[in-house]
Amino acid sequence: MLGNVYKWIVKDMIETNDLSKQFNNEFWAVDGVSLRVQPGQILALLGQNGAGKTTTVRMLTALLSPTRGWARVGGYDITKNPQEVRSNVGVLTEQHGLYMRMTGEEYLDFFGEVYDLDPKTRKLRSNYLLEYFGLAEYAHRRSGEYSKGMKQKLALARALMHDPSVLLLDEPTSAMDPESAQLVRNEISRLRSSQRTIIICTHNLAEAEALADRIAIIYRGKVLLNGTLDELKRDVLGPVEYEARFAEEFDAGDLDLPPGVTLAGRSATSLRFRIEAPQIVNPKLVHALTSRNAPLVSFQEVPRKLEHVYLKTMADAQGVPYAA
């Protein structure tokens, strides 16, 4: 209840400040993580294995207490109100964690009971989720007989069983076939549009790019980058580049470039420009080219993927050259 009220009053459903965790008084698994995620937002946590993503998620689930800093999830302090935090969070753990001798239906019913749902609601929710994830046909089979993808879907259904306002998903589509992965991504998108707050830990950069509103890259427990995809691209890879392709050789010569545009590269049939403010400059640049009778075939942004951002960030962090 308080979580729902909080959602309307406060912007951030997940808020961490200097969140840190040290193990054995020597190893900092998470070191000074400060994040904010609003209702209806998806944050993708990216990083190598052992970077601190799982420890961060475990702290946000009030499974581990922070050594330093604090965090609030759904308005509840993870240290002071751990029970309330857990009630409001749905977690998909790194391992699916299914009880192999329980049927899918029994499993969801058990977790519904754990989250204090009444029998009628449990039945409704479990039927809906089994149906949605295409598991209804196998509801009475023991989960040990499920395929990897089915297990993952059942685990996700478990995380959604109590309809939580915050979802922490660790590799939600791993081991899934493309159709199932698409189904899960659609569900995540649907949850976002119903104002759920979601954190996804993933190694699947394409998925993060497709789903996330914000992206945070963690390296050795520290957040190296945190922002929207566009912000990260601009910060890491520099201004946007546009490429003009020509039907035949075109000598740009003393082409008069508008302010805010620099020539980044050229070939006989193409020119590449680095542009600070494309919305303002691009029309002028296209005009400049066409007024010189350039045989323009296409003028488009050079695709820059999250993968480039991630790899360059990691290369910089490790002090090794980044080969694009």
Shortest CB 303 distance to another protein, Å: 38
Please identify, using beta-carbon distances, which residue of 100 and 263 lies nearer to another protein: 100
- 3-state secondary structure (DSSP) of residue 47: strand
Nearest to 43 by CA among 205, 196, 212: 212
> Would you state the structure tokens that stand for residue 242, as one six-digit string?
């546009």
| Strands of the sheet with 27-37, listed across from one edge | 27-37, 14-23, 68-73, 76-77
Among 1, 24, 253, 256, binds another protein (CB under 8 A): 24
170's tokens: 């660790």
Whether the Cβ atoms of residue 156 and residue 182 lie closer than 8 Å to each other: no
d(CA 238, CA 143): 48
The piece of 112-120, 181-189, 207-215, 225-233 that touches another protein (CB under 8 A) is 112-120
CA 50, CA 53: separation in Å to the nearest integer?
7
**Residue 202 · residue 46 · CB < 8 Å:** yes
287 binds another protein (CB under 8 A): no
**What residues between 46 and 75 interact with another protein by CB under 8 A?**
58, 61-65
Nearer to another protein, 196 or 304 (CB): 196
Tell me if 300 contacts another protein by CB under 8 A. no
Q: Of the listed pieces 106-114, 145-153, 242-250, 304-312, which binds another protein according to CB under 8 A?
A: 106-114
Interacting residues toward another protein by CB under 8 A: 23-26, 58, 61-65, 83, 86-87, 89, 91, 93-102, 106, 110-111, 113-116, 142, 155, 158-159
